[in-house]
Amino acid sequence: IDKDALDAQVKERKIQEAAEKAEHERFAHHMKKNDKLMCLLEERQKNEIKDINRALTEFHKNFQKPETRREFDLNDPQALKKDRPARVSDDDPRCTISGMQKFMGEDLNHDQRMKFQKEQIREWSLQQQKDLKNALADQKLADDLYDKFRIELDRKIMEEQRKEEESRRAVCTATKNFNKIQVAELDHKNELEKAQKMKDDMYEITCLLRGDFLSENPDQAIGPGGKHNVLVDRWKGMNQEQLMAIREFQKEQVLEKQRAREQERRRDAEWDRQRLQAARTQLLWERHQQRQDQVQRRDLDAVNAGLSQEQKAK
């Protein structure tokens, strides 16, 4: 396994992760900054909209009162109090056909009524034109404010993008310079390690050439316990002295074995002699015992014969 290459890859990976982490942190910082800017702009827009609504409310309150509207008479809460009788006089303009207060041919106030209606229509038309003009002005003001807000927002976004691009270029330049420095340091380190490795290899070769393994020094097999403690993985065989000592020891063993056999043979012969001697002694004792028994039997027979003669004589 190429440990140096793996270490270099791990180091490059750490550098890349550090650069990515810095990039993410910088991007997160810009995102937070943009979010804060958006919040400020939204707050500003809300305040502007609130001011516009307040201005519209003040305008409606001051210049568009409910009692000035043309349909106010339909929603007037004081309508019943202000209402008059169904007919006050014959020229009452409220006397309609459905009220059955006036009939065909009784339209005595036609000219005045028509004039009043035309005046009323003219006022309604002027009021509608004024309302439309105010609505268009309000819409134009709102559109202008929105356009200004969008232009300002686009300008700030472009500025942030420009700053982000400059920061990215600066980070890329710094990363490139850092990588160049790291590559130079790695090359220098590899050269030093290569030189050290060649030096170590030459030293190892010299040690092997001058060492006990290739020179077959028999003393290298001597263990820490002395000459009798042999290291089998380093043993190169026995020398002449050891071989002579083994041969002498084997001769001593042969002589010792011969002496032991001779002693055993002599011991067996002695045991055989002792057994023969004991058997001979036993045989002589048995013969002596038989002779004594015969003598005693003859004496006993003689005594018995004498006693028998004496008995017969009586």
Span 70-95, pLDDT tens digits:
777 778 888 777 777 666 666 677 77
pLDDT of residue 257: 92
User: What's the CA gap between 314 and 311, in Å, rounded?
Assistant: 5
Both tokens of 240, joined, read 């002449």
What is the enclosing helix (H) or strand (E) of 193? helix 110-210
- Distance CA(235)–CA(241), nearest Å, equals 15
User: If you average pLDDT over every residue of the chain, what do you get?
Assistant: 82
Q: What is the 3-state secondary structure (H, E, C) of 30-88?
A: HHHHHHHHHHHHHHHHHHHHHHHHHHHHHHHHHHCCHHHCCCHHHHCCCHHHHCCCCCC
| pLDDT, tens only, 112-125 | 888 888 999 999 99
Is pLDDT larger for residue 38 or for residue 224?
Answer: 38
Flag whether pLDDT at 213 surpasses 70: no
Average pLDDT over residues 206-230: 62
Give the pLDDT band (50/70/90) at residue 67.
Answer: confident
pLDDT reported for residue 192: 92
Strands 226-230 and 222-223: antiparallel
Predicted confidence (pLDDT) at residue 61 exceeds the cutoff of 70 = yes
DSSP state of 211: S
CB 141, CB 52: distance < 8 Å: yes
Q: How far apart are CA 192 and CA 4, in angstroms?
A: 13
Please give the C-alpha separations between residue 217 and each of 210, 234, 246, in angstroms, as whole numbers. 11, 9, 21
